Structure 1
């Protein structure tokens, strides 16, 4: 599937579907021209798939890979017909452009920049599927040969070489093993990157968790301190109330009341004994 900017392989996003298991597909972007090309990958189901990386720069006459991981699914779609799609956007950028410079505005077609878009559909296959079992409408997935199969192939090849009837089997087998090794190396590199990214996220989450725990401890200490201060204030208030009651009891009658009673007594005595 060739475009003016990038060659994309494979032509579909293919997953070996197994219930409750993740599946990965590596897509390679090839730039055959002499300019730098930026790319961005989008999907119709971002919660279902994980794309790493989602943006990047393909150097002149260079390649770049991105890995699409389908999360573990609990149910299979009817007839294994998946309607999910991916969109690969590409645009020519000047030399020196970094991934941090890539934004959505870079892929706007009305900006006067050469921009291309290519849709990739998702194809699901079972682990036992093969081109002989049905038309999968895509390139056949690479399968790792078992050690017994490789050993038998080598024995047959050695026998043919001794008879002098065929000498082309070994090179084809070695070439196939080399392709499989290259694909495995790409998948291991992608998994290593994803593993490091997960470790980084876990470290950040652990740091935030420790910070939250420290904040909770400080809040609990402040709460205890406020409770103690509140209890002390209550005790002081009770003591002040008791002191006021005792003081009033010791003072007896107020001085004004005594004066009034004295004046009334003098007035009554004056009227009785003029």
Structure 2
């Protein structure tokens, strides 16, 4: 909600700066002319050496807006409990020609409206946590695997290392978020199971129970396919050995 007077709406009503040491921080201030006449403005502060205001004065056409940028200079020391007593004052007056310093003086019947603004220091946004990074890493493993399972790919394709997903369309992620996979290559199903199992064992992964169940179902299905493929390979090998032995057999002498 904006702070207002008869001439101007001032937004935001409180200047908030995410406080970071040794870094300049800016906060935009939007001034909206509510009148049908041109309004001149001037921005003042109790700490002029600490803040830079651009522009610190100007005119706003009728029913129009302008933006003022308030920049706090880099600070070397943080105030106790991030408390700030600085204040700003936005003065406004109706004009018909250029701006003069005398028009903002409340003398001789000159009508000057004022809006007072407080300053607040807030905590800066936290960087991405390790939990989020490991969660995203798990998604990069699971999304291509889910695509393969949905398409009915066999374990033999996974073991051969020939499966490559390029520019995959958006697919449903087992961990509950829609993502895209670009040029993701899977080498072996055993590698996937090891990576997924390791990710689940870490403290970083704390998904809902249903998400864990979905992942377990995928791993179980892949394990079943792998065992089936191994059994088929064993039977084929036995048949080849039997055929080779028959081809090498010769009749015994009477």
Q: How does the TM-score come out when normalised to structure 1?
A: 0.45
Q: How does the TM-score come out when normalised to structure 2?
A: 0.48
Higher strand proportion: 2
Higher helix proportion: 1
Name the larger-Rg structure: 1
